[in-house]
Every structure is written in C-alpha cells, then in structure tokens.
Structure 1
C-alpha cells in the first residue's frame, strides 16, 4: 500500500523550517517538583506536579505559577510575525450579522442576534413574524469584561414570559431567571446551583429544572458533581420553597433532566449515569399530579423524546437499532407496548422534530446532513434540499403548525436561517449573513483514507480554489475529536477560514469514537479500543502528506477537550509526524480524571482508573505519563482557562510542567491560560478572537504558513 511505501520517509523527524529557527523554545519558568508517588496495581507512579491540581483561586503558589507561565507565553506570542495579520483578519471575518434559529411561542418569535463584534449575542423578540425586532436581553451590559453570557432560554407556552440562564466566566454553573416579555421586568428571584439542566415550562406559571446541592465553600469549581435532582419552581416563590420532583439519593451518581411535551400534558425525566446514551425514563402525567412511573427501565439504550400528539409519545431510540429508529407508545393503552414508526436506515439519525403533524428527521450521510419529512405513520413525504455538504440543525416548530425554522452552514458558509413549510415543502430565507468573502473561492471536498487496521475513515478538506487548481502542497491544520459519540460535521469557523485565506489547508477527520456512523463507530474508539482513535488521526496526517495536500514539515494538529487528549497522545506516539499542535482544554491525566467535577461521567468512554484492566489501558496512552524524553517534539501550544470546571485546568498545568521538564528539542512547549473563561461556551468575542489569533499565528509559524505569500 502507498502508506507502507512512504513509511520510511514519514519516520524521519520533521525538519524545522529555516524561517522558524529564530523563535525556538524560550526559557521556561521553574516549576517545583513534589515527592508524591502513588503505588497503583504494583506500579509506582510519580506525580511531582500534584500541587498544580489546586484551584488557582485557593492557592497562591498555583496563581504565581500561572502568572509566570503567562508572562513567558505572552512575550513569545507577541513576537510571532503573523499575529497581527490573524488578529485583523479573524476580527474582520467575525464582523457580520448573525442570528440563531427563531422559536415561536404565542405568536411571538424569539432569537439571538449579533451585529458582528458584540461580546455576547443579545436576545430579541418580534411580536409577530413581520414586526420589528425588539431587544429583550442584552448580556453585554452584565459584566465589564463581557464574560457573563446568556446561556439557555425558553419562552413560556403563551410567549408572555421568558425563562433563561446566566453563565458567568465560562463556568458550567447556571443562574436561572424569569422575565416578563412585555415589560422586560424580572419576575421573582434567582435560582442557584443549576447545572447540566433542561429548562422546561409547566404551563405558564412554573418550570422544571435540575440542580446539585450547594458545594462547600471554595469547592465550586473542583468538587465532584453528585446527587442531581429535579425541582419544580412556581413563579413568585423563593427557591427554598421549590418542590422536589425526582431524585435518587440511593444512587447519587445518577443525573436527571426533565422535559415537557408541547401540549403541556406530559413530563419526562431522563436519567443517566455517565456520558453513554443509556437512559432510564420516568413519565409524569401532569394532569394527574407529580407521581412518576417508569416508562423505560434499565439504563440499556438511548431514548430521546421527540414530542407528543395527544396520548401518543414519539421517541428516537437505538433499542434494537444501533443507527436509531423512531417508535411511539400510546399512553391510553401502554400495555400494547412500542410501535415502530420509522425503521432503522443505513445512516444514523442525528436529530428529530415533530412539526405540523409531520416528523422531520436529520440523518448523517458520511458526516454531512440530510433531512426528510415523514407522516406520523412513517411514510416519507419528501427530502429537504440543502446547498451541498454541510450541517443542518435547530429544527424547531410546533406539532400543530406547519411553520418550521432551521439553519444550514458549511466550512465556507456561515449559518443561514430558513423558514420552512412542512405541508408544502416551501423554504424561504429568514436571515442570511452578508460576507466579506466569496464562498465560491474555496473548495470543500470529502476524501476517504485507510487507518492502520484498514478501516475506511472520512475526512473533509477545505482549500482556496487556486491552490487546489495548482496542486500545491501547503501548510495544513488537521482537527479531530474522536469520542463520546460526538459527530463532527461541516461548520463555519472564522479562524479556520482565516487559515485557508492565508494559503493553508484545513482538514477535519471523522475518526472513530464519534457518532458519525452510529453505535459501532463510537464503540470502536472507546475504552479498550481507544488506540484506534489515535491510529485514525495519525493515518489522517500520513494521508495528507502522501496525497500532497501538505508538505512533511507543514502539518499542524488541533483538538479540544477529548480532542486535547487526542493531540497530547499522538504527539507522544508520533512526534516526528507533526510540526506543531494546539491541545485545548484537554484531559491529560488519565489516571486521575475522575477526581473532579464532571470527570466521573467520562468512565463510559475512558474506563475506570480504579480497575486494573482499565488502568493499564489508560496508563499506556495518558498524555501526562507518556512524554518521551530526549526526543524532538512538535511545537505545542497548550490552552486552558482558570474557570474551566468541566476539564479542570490542572490537567493542562501538570502536562505543560512535565513537557517543560524534559529535553524535547528546539521547538517550544508553552501554555496560554485565559482568565474569566471556561471550557469554551460563553466566551466573549474579544477573548475568542485573541485566543484564535494566537493559536493560528503559533501554528502558522511552525508550519511555514506566511499570510500574503
């Protein structure tokens, strides 16, 4: 095979471009090494940077370390020659008017809009479809630094009130508030300690939400999240009076999220134990009180409510269908059991809605969206038409109205919002951005390559049309994730567009561990199969070189969260293959990830660090524990944030300290630590532009990408 023919050349260390030799590794700040050694399953594991796990707010030593690291990193990044270019161009690309998919309630239309460079997107309402938009909430007024965001929001069924959540500094914690839509006045007080919650109205005067017990002082951002429960809040009452609707104190590890049907007849409480889509579902008949009865027992399969029509509930499920099917149950005759409405297809279902007496299903066809309209009896009515390879989403509407809204985007097209009539199939543009570039100047293609074990893996590649025509190999940014059943589909990114405008290529590999091909694709990249994820990503890099997309010294890699783990693992396994990398908010200590906040949920994908078989698998690829001393490494920019309470920043702190303690060649391994930011959501635009520009300039420097050349 071609990969074998090229194996010898690919094993050679990637050369440092001549233009980059004047910005080699800086003098790193000294990091104290402690004497912590754990003996686990008969093996001694040193953990000299255990002290860096402490919350930066509670440790002067960690705060001082962060300050020293940022000082070195800031000085380094400021000297990068393309930094100003990327800052200016990414800022220009951000500066276009954009909107979310509207939600209609009571004849009013609610949506967010951003004029371009606003740090947070305000929420608007139209009192009718043709009415002028009225500003309802402007989160830019909430904090001087723009780091307090409007997170979730749901109008009441009659459109008279708005339930919304506030996110401060990027944290996963949410503050819930209610607003009178007509006056803009807040109704009642605030709800605290909500997290990983749905927002579901019960009528127009109360709602269901999920929260955890209040953490002990100083433990807000690190303590394990246990004992989540569902509460009902009646408007006009204090949080202390909220009614406990559902909890499992004998099983504190279980999560519970509530959802109500559009007709306000039913409430479903979906319980989970981790990140796997294995649920137990309880049903509440809201006409009969708060008693919950088990609808789906056992934590075996995925069950996701679409909506209801009278006594008939519709779900998507992977029960007896790894790629999902649609089923229904009639609660007037539940003993009759489940009825299949739409059978499993060869492509996985990615989303579903019940609109105007029809089912609208989104499928993933080789990681790109396709959507179809069905009758409630499962007969196909039509396929929806989209503008090429891309991602459709946000399908919203009412079971009693044919009006539906959705968005469509691709790598070279920001989201356009459409209004769709499910009865006729007519589609019109509701909101379309004005662009500072021509999408036709860029080519988006899908290619397939073979991984180490022969598995066929898809990859999207975007380049300038003139570069495709010339056949030139150019510096390439390769992105991946590979976990938690997450599907990567084509979507617009200002930083990726700037990279491609500068003359580079962008590639996205749909590696195993994701959900692009259903349950089997996910299972093939988790637990004992996690090495497949790394093999797929490495093979993607080899393919890009072998096919002449990128030169051997021009490949950069990037990933966030589980994708940060991916970058760290493959940098250890194939440091010769990559010129540079960005490991963002990564899970880097695989032996202790379950010790903090949401980490305990991840055992579904990673395994249990306290079980020997799993521990040995984790030990074999943990980025922190497999750094190769005396080896030339790629240039690595680790990025994290002080308020990340999803993947706590201690992961990145310890990993960076370990990198800097070894002789890894001339390229730098530095860390950029954002303040008043978290795992990613809610980040203000100015911080997003600054971070993206720093990352792009760093990766460009070490791959030889020179904007304007």
Structure 2
C-alpha cells in the first residue's frame, strides 16, 4: 500500500530549409479585441482577450474562434514536408505490447495490457501467476472516438470486486463504478463528482473516495474546486446515502484524500492546501468503527512537511517524510502510543527518496541518483539487505506489495528502452521478466548520456542527451529538441517516448534538462525554482540551450524547445526572454496568464509554486515573467506551436487562447505563431492513442521544419 502522467537516414540542413518562405506565417484569423483594462498596485493592465476565457461549449464566439484557428493550423501542419514520415514512424514505434505492473489480491493478478495501437489499455485478470489472462474491462468499447478512458482501479482485499474510475474526454472529473470480478457485472450505480481522489476499500462492503459539490450548470470545466470532502459508499446503496467521513467546511480551500492499510485496520487521511507536499494527517482505527464511527485522530498538524504512509503491521505504521530531512527519511510510530513519538528507521542520505513500499517483511526504498532510479531492500527496522540492480540509466517504478507476501513487481524503462515488467522476490533477490515488449528498433543503436552544465548563477544542473550512436560518434551538430518542466517538485527521469525516439531516429538529438523547481535533489531544488526564485527555472533552461550550442550538440539555428503545463509556461517565458536562442517551440497546455491563473478550476492550488496574484510582492514577480504580458513586439520570435484541448479543466484552454491571440497581434517576424486545439481531450491523461500519434506527428514535423531536420526514406 502506498499513498500520496527502423532507423531512417537523414539529410540535416545547417539552416532553415530553402523552402522556408513557403511555410512562413500564414494569415491569422481575426481576433476581436475587447476594452478590459484593470489597475493592479498602481499599474494599468489591458486584457483585450478576456472573452476568450469563456468555455467553448457556452460561448458561440469562442467556438467560432477555435474553428477558425484550427482551420488555419490544420492546413499549415498538413503541408509540412515531414508530417507523413513522422506520423508513420511514430505509429510504428507506438505499436508494441505494453503492460502495467500487476496488482495482486488473493490469487488474482490484475494488470492492463495494450496490444500496441489500441486507443485505451484494457484491464485483465489472471487467477494465479501463470493463469490464463481474462479480459475484465475494455474501455475501447466505451466511446466511438476512443476518448473515454479507464483512469484508475483498485481491487477489493480478496480480489472479488474491482473499484474503478472512468475519465471522459480528458476531463479531471471521474465516474466511479464497481465490478464483480467473477461475472463482469456492474455492482450498483455510478458515483459522480469525484475529482483528485484516491480510491480505497473498507473491507469488501464499501469504499472511500473524495468529491466536490456538484457544480452549477455550465460551470463543470471552469468553476473553482472548493470544499473537497471524503465520503464512504456502501455497496448496494445510492450515492445520496453516502456517509460523510471527513471535511473542513470552515476551511473550504483544503483538500482531503484517504487510504487504507493492507491489513484493513487503519484509514489514513491526508489534508493539503495546495500543490506543496505539506500535509496534515489523521488516522481512523477501522477496528473500532462500530463504536467510534469515523473518529479521526490527529497525527500530524501544521501543514509543514511531506508525509506519505508506507503501510502498517499491527499498530506500527511506517512513513516517508522530509521533516528534519530535506532529502527524506523513513520513520515509524506506534498508533496505540502516539505520545511516544517517532522512531527513525532509515536516515536521510545524499540522494532523495522517491518512494517506498512494504513487501513481506521488508521495505523497498527507491532513490533518485542524479535523476535516475536506484532501489534498495531493507528490513522493517531499516537494516540494509541488498541493492536491486537495474539495466543502466533509467526509471523504475512499482514495488507494490503486501506484508504477507514476498512478491512484488516493478517496471524499468529508459529513453531507448520501452517499459519491461519484472517480478521480484524480496527474500531471495531474484528478478524475473513478467512482460517484455518486442519493439521495432535496436536499443543499442542509441546513446544515452548525462552531462552537467552551469546555470547563470553557477548552479550545476544535470541534463540527459539522447542521439543515434552514429550521430554521436560523428560529433556533428544536429537539430535538437530540448524539454523541461521545472516546477511543483516534479522530477523528470529517463523514460520511453515514441515521438522522442522518432526525432532521434531522424538524426536529431533529444535533451532533457533537470532544471530547478523539480524534485530531483529534494526540497532545496524545488525551493530554488519557485515563487521569488522562479526566474532560476528560466535561467537554467536558457543555460541548457546555450550549453547545447557551445558543446556542438546543436547548431545555433537548430534548437527547438518543448514543455507541457508548467513546462508550457516555461516555453512561453523563455521565448519572451531569449527569442534569439530558439528556432522553434511547442508550448503545450501551458499556464500563460500569471495574473489570473488562480481564478479557474485547480488554479488556486498553484499559489504554492507561483505565489498569490492578489499580493503586491508576488504580483510584481508574476508580472515580470507572465508569458501573456511580456511578448516583445517588433522582435523576431521562434516559430511557436501552442497546443491545448477544449476539455482541459486543469489548465483551462483560455490561457492558450489569450496567449496565441496576443502573439498573432504583434509583429514577430516571418515565423508562424499557431495554435492547435484538440477536441474531446483534456490536460493529457486518457488521450486515445490515435489522437496522441496525430498530435505528436504535428508537433515533430513543425519543430523539424524550423530547425532544419529533414528525415528521408
């Protein structure tokens, strides 16, 4: 139990292709300018495209604008010379068998498996490790366009039932359902208005989930998310009869999620106020529920540190925390004697702990070592047993299990290695392959290396660089795609991507910069790139681009940049600050209006990283880098492709709409400033495979054209 997304030859041009004049900025659709002007802390700020914040479903003018923008963008992207090549090759690279790590309950093994190009991954169950797989759920049958996804699932303790969540059209809202594993029949009706929820069984009779109040009509995708509460649903009852378990009506900004230990005794409630991993923790003794109800005992108060329960044995529970340990440590406590305090089990190391699990009578602790995975087995008292060996630089994940079994599963992947699933025995240290993909490339044809560079203030920053082996050996500077994120304590680690590998197969280089704001080096690395320190994120990314040019990895006119969500903000900000450095960029589902991000859906949570727009000190910092408000008129800009989706209720598409309108209104040179708006899609999760391939091909072809990457047959 653990609690809280065939190599081709190439011709590389050293500059923009000779045919570039044919692909220069098209005539943009007209965008109406409004007259909204507001005064903040003595400064007048115009917001002429405020009307583009409206939901496309409810405002015909916004819907018309979307249609006209897509018509121009679609025609442009269709004409790109490498578009067909990228779509074909990315599709081929996607076409391999993919498995999730199995979850074991009783003698049932649950896992997802995608045969290759299925839009959504079906869920299977085996009776016994070597049992015949049986299809349990096929989300590909749920919608004709493949845009309804299986987003989460948890088997009941004995494996006889399955609680799962449905995501429709990319929204963050979830529909919860329960399935009888033996018959495949749904038990009871749908549970609605769940969002940002964990799923946890209480015995075999019911489950816990988190929900928000039902929004007013037409506000599903824009209204602020407030008053989250935890409910208990008993099987066989209507949702209207669900029991309120935990809520804080006097503090409606707080979020609450719940989990249950594998032995079923303890319920753990996490409360937070934003995106920071700073929690209050309550525990409920489920063994005393008949007499005490849902009585929640405070365990951690104050919203000061990160706490993540690993599991419990009897009354002893283990946690990962950064209290008195910025790189995290493992501690335990006796819940029947809380006053006795905490016992340190595994002390802080030089590398941050990424996760931990209990398997049998052992702990498996995962670390990040320069943004790559390592893992160690210890006893429950923290005594070292062994290191788990991985196949080089990469990312491992999984290691779920129960205290009564030595069996666990984990995945391993890297830039040149698709995910392989391993079964691991913690008692013996034996690793065996559970599922290995057959892929259409040879991993040895590619070189993955890690380099370090200095940022503007001298900070040492790691970067992964991936190239074809022959390209790396030649020392030739080639068009390079640089990716970054830099926020919210999110660590970027090596992983497989069909679109990135297609770029590299075409002869380009892919670089991933582990800039500040992430969690690669613990709390200090995160703090170094947020709020008043946010400019460090942009400086780190700019320095990464300068390093790639200085080291001869990419030519001066061959650097493309990409980022999504907070990374979309990154692309927008650095394009404003250093438009001369980049040839092209893709800003995906980005936070572009830093003065109003907190007005919609989940935006209010982000103040932990960005600060408060209604406080002058924070506002002035936000105003200084907000992509929407710092576009440089009469300046040659990189070619920019903004991507978003109509059902993104995480970062509402109005951010991208307003930003694109502002770009198109200025004289930014001959390179295009376009927006691609997907329908029936959201922030990214649940996107069907066919849409993912089409979008990836559009982006790759756009960036390839403006960096001079020309794959040929």
The alignment's TM-score, normalised by the length of structure 2, stands at 0.97
SS in 2 for 1:298: coil
Task: Determine if contact 1:19/1:704 at 8 Å carries over to the other structure.
Answer: no
**Residue aligning to 2:7:** none
The aligned runs of 1:391-470 (5 Å cut-off) are: 391-470=395-474
Provide the C-alpha distance between the structure 1 equivalents of 2:110 and 2:707, rounded to a whole number of angstroms: 44
1:484 aligns with 2:488: yes
1:568 to 552, 559, 572: 572
* Superposed displacement of residue 333, structure 1: 2.1
Spell out the pairing of 1:121-160 with structure 2 (5 A cutoff): 121-160=121-160
Task: Report SS of the residue matched to 2:404.
Answer: coil
Give SS of 1:231's match: strand
Distance in 2 (alpha carbons) for counterparts of 1:364 and 1:149: 31
User: What secondary structure is seen at the aligned counterpart in 1 of 2:277?
Assistant: coil
3-state SS of paired residue (2:124): strand
- 2:299 is aligned to 295
Give the distance between the partners of 2:19 and 2:27, measured in 1 at CA. Answer: 20
Moved more, 393-402 or 504-513: 393-402
Aligned residues between the structures? 696
1:680 paired residue number: 684
1:21-40 equivalences under 5 Å are: 21-40=21-40
In structure 2, the residue matched to 1:285 is 285
Distance (whole Å) between structure 1 residues aligned to residue 590 and residue 613 of structure 2: 17
Instruction: Report the equivalent of 1:701.
Output: 705
- 1:77-128 Cα offsets, whole Å, 9 max, x none, are 0000000000000000011111000000011000000000000000000011
The match for 2:5 is none
Matches of 2:299 and 2:50 in 1, distance apart? 45
1:483-562 pair list within 5 angstroms = 483-562=487-566
CA distance in 2, matches of 1:127, 1:655: 52
Aligned-pair distance for 1:20? 2.0
Cα deviations by residue, 1:552-607 (Å, 9 ceiling, x for unpaired): 00000000000000000000000000000000000000000000000000000000
Q: Give 1:394 shift.
A: 1.5
Deviations 1:138-163 (A, max 9, x none): 00000000000000000000000000
Q: Deviations over 1:492-526 (max 9, x none)?
A: 00000000000000000000000000000000000
Instruction: Report what 2:599 is aligned to.
Output: 595
1:632 paired with 2:636, answer yes
Equivalent position of 2:590 in the other structure: 586
Per-residue CA shift, 1:432-460, capped at 9, x if unaligned? Answer: 00010000000000000000000000000
1:333 & 1:25 partners in 2: Cα distance?
A: 69
Deviations 1:358-415 (A, max 9, x none): 0100000000000000001111100000000000002111111000100000000011
Alpha carbons 2:257, 2:270 under 8 Å: kept: yes
Tell me if 1:670 matches 2:670. no
Please state whether the residue corresponding to 1:630 is helix, strand or coil.
coil
**Does the Cα contact within 8 Å between 1:20 and 1:704 map onto a contact in 2?**
no
Give the Cα separation in 2 of the matches to 1:228 and 1:333: 30
Is the 1:17–1:553 contact (alpha carbons within 8 Å) kept by the matching residues of 2?
no
Q: What residue number does 2:611 align with? A: 607
Secondary structure in 1 matching 2:225 = coil
Q: Specify the SS of the correspondent of 1:299.
A: coil
Mapping of residues 246-261 of structure 1, within 5 Å? 246-261=246-261
The aligned residue for residue 211 of structure 2 is 211
SS of the equivalent of 2:304 reads strand
Task: Give the Cα–Cα distance (whole angstroms) in 2 for the partners of residues 490 and 596 of structure 1.
Answer: 32
Say whether the 8 Å CA contact 2:15–2:707 is kept in structure 1.
no
| Residue 81 of structure 1: aligned partner | 81
Counterpart of 2:372 in structure 1 is 368
Residue deviations 1:582-639, cap 9 Å, x none? Answer: 0000000000000000000000000000000000000000000000000000000000
| Alpha-carbon distance in structure 2 between the residues aligned to 1:24 and 1:331 | 66
Q: Is the 8 A contact 1:149 1:166 kept in 2?
A: yes
Structure 2 residue matching 1:300: 3-state secondary structure: coil
Report the secondary structure of 1:288's partner residue.
helix
Match for 1:309 among 313, 321, 334?
313
User: Does the 8 Å contact 1:594/1:603 carry over to 2?
Assistant: yes
| 8 Å contact kept, 1:277–1:301 | yes
What TM-score do you get using the length of structure 1 for normalisation?
Answer: 0.98
| 657, 663, 668: which one aligns with 1:659 | 663
Match in the other structure for 2:8? none
- How does 1:158-307 map onto structure 2 within 5 Å? 158-289=158-289, 290-307=294-311
Q: Is the 2:16–2:705 Cα contact (8 Å) retained in structure 1?
A: no
Structure 1 residue 16 displacement after superposition:
4.3
Question: What is the match of residue 3 of structure 1?
Answer: none
Is 1:378 aligned to 2:382, yes or no? yes
Quick one: distance in 1 between partners of 2:528 and 2:416? 31
Q: Deviations over 1:290-328 (max 9, x none)?
A: 100101111110000000011100000000000000000
Partner of 1:5: none
Question: Does the residue aligned with 1:287 lie in a helix, a strand or coil?
Answer: helix
Cα distance in 1, alignment partners of residues 672 and 18 from structure 2:
15
Secondary structure of 2:125's partner? strand
Q: Specify which structure has the bigger relative contact order, considering alpha-carbon pairs within 8 angstroms and separated by 6 or more residues.
A: 2
Does the CA-based 8 Å contact 1:157-1:204 persist in structure 2? yes
CA contact (8 A) 2:16 2:708 kept: no
Provide structure 1 residue ranges, at least 5 long, that are not aligned to the other structure: 1-13
- Helix, strand or coil: the match of 1:27? coil
SS of structure 2 residue aligned to 1:22? helix
Structure 2: gaps of 5 or more residues: 1-13
Q: How many Å apart are 1:19 and its aligned residue? A: 3.8
SS in structure 2 at match of 1:21 = helix
Tell me how far 1:331 sits from its aligned partner: 1.6
Distance 2:540 2:301 in 1: 36
How far 1:429 moved relative to its partner? 0.2
Q: Matches of residues 330-349 of structure 1 in structure 2 within 5 Å?
A: 330-349=334-353
Other structure's SS at 1:706 match? strand
Q: Distance in 2 between matches of 1:619 and 1:380?
A: 50
